[in-house]
Amino acid sequence: MPFSSGVFPLGVAYLPGEKVVLRVFENRYLDLMNDISDAHFMFISVLIEQGSEVGGGDRRFSHGVQIKVENVFESDVGVVVEARALERVKIIRWLDDFSYPSAEYEFMNDIDTSQDQVHEAASSISLLAQRIRTLHVMLGANTPESDNTMVANSQLTTIAAGRWWGPGISIAEVNRAFWTIASLVPCGTLDRYDLLAPNTILKRISLLKNTIEHVAEVVAFQQRN
């Protein structure tokens, strides 16, 4: 069954679990924030395909994430919104009933995963985490710069060590670990967006592996020249 929601198109492809901080000043998106404050404090974010989120005239990708608003603060111009990206969604149909973009959407559910596949995914995620740590060192980004960075590096270290999972691990835990490490890959916006579409954890892992390898090749080339 499709759901409906206001949509905030952005130049960022957020991944499940990521912290979202938005400075909202355009009237139509201030209207969106006012409307969701009277409802469930949720909206949808999708990546802009072409154009700008300011002033309209944009084209939007179909995959995105549900966003849960946690805090709203008044600022000199507009408001600052602190939120969290939750589940993946797919836009089914754009609506024209509001001053801001709105759409019908559905949640994206993976096909069933066997326990052997869950174990395979967990092991692969640890190996990818090790590769991401190497990338951070190559880029000189292994020194924490903030509390959030310190937490992220700690999570990455734990996952890379492989001691975060055991025989009874669930697919939900594996997915959380995947999105944690995926958010730490220094890749492009479209690479991040592409991770939202696959309908199995193993497909997402394969895609992330290719992205990491590509980024590593680019970094190695730049450092040789």
- Is the same domain home to 191 and 213? yes
Give the model confidence (pLDDT) of 133-176 as tens digits: 999 888 885 444 545 566 677 899 999 999 899 999 999 999 99
| Domain total of the chain | 2
Question: HSE (CB half, 13 Å, CA atoms) of 149?
Answer: 8
What pLDDT does 51 receive? 56
Residue type, 150: M
- Is the same domain home to 91 and 26? yes
What pLDDT does 148 receive? 55
- Is the same domain home to 141 and 96? no
- Is the same domain home to 55 and 150? no
Range of the domain at 196: 115-224
CB atoms within 10 A of CB 81: 22
Which of 58, 86, 107 corresponds to the end of one domain? 107
- Is the same domain home to 101 and 123? no
Integer-rounded Cα radius of gyration of the chain: 19
Strand residues in 99-165 grouped as ranges (E) = 102-107
What pLDDT does 50 receive? 60
Give the model confidence (pLDDT) of 37-84 as tens digits: 766 899 999 999 765 544 455 689 999 999 999 999 998 889 999 999
Among residues 119, 98, 127, the alpha carbon closest in space to that of 6 is found at 98
- Is the same domain home to 96 and 119? no
pTM: 0.90
What pLDDT does 205 receive? 98
Q: At which residue do the structure tokens 């995914």 appear?
A: 121
* CATH code (residue 96): 2.30.130.40
- Is the same domain home to 98 and 49? yes
- Is the same domain home to 103 and 122? no
Question: DSSP for the chain?
Answer: --EEEEEEEESS---TT-EEEEEE-SHHHHHHHHHHHTTTSEEEEEEEEES-SSSS--EEEEEEEEEEEEEEEE-SSSEEEEEEEEEEEEEEEEE-SSSS-EEEEEE--PPP--HHHHHHHHHHHHHHHHHHHHHHHHTT--S--SHHHHHHHHHHHHHHHTTT--TT--HHHHHHHHHHHHTTS---HHHHHHTTS-SSHHHHHHHHHHHHHHHHHHHHHHHH-
Task: Give the per-residue SS3 of 142-173.
Answer: CCCCCHHHHHHHHHHHHHHHCCCCCCCCCHHH
* Of 121 and 144, more confident: 121
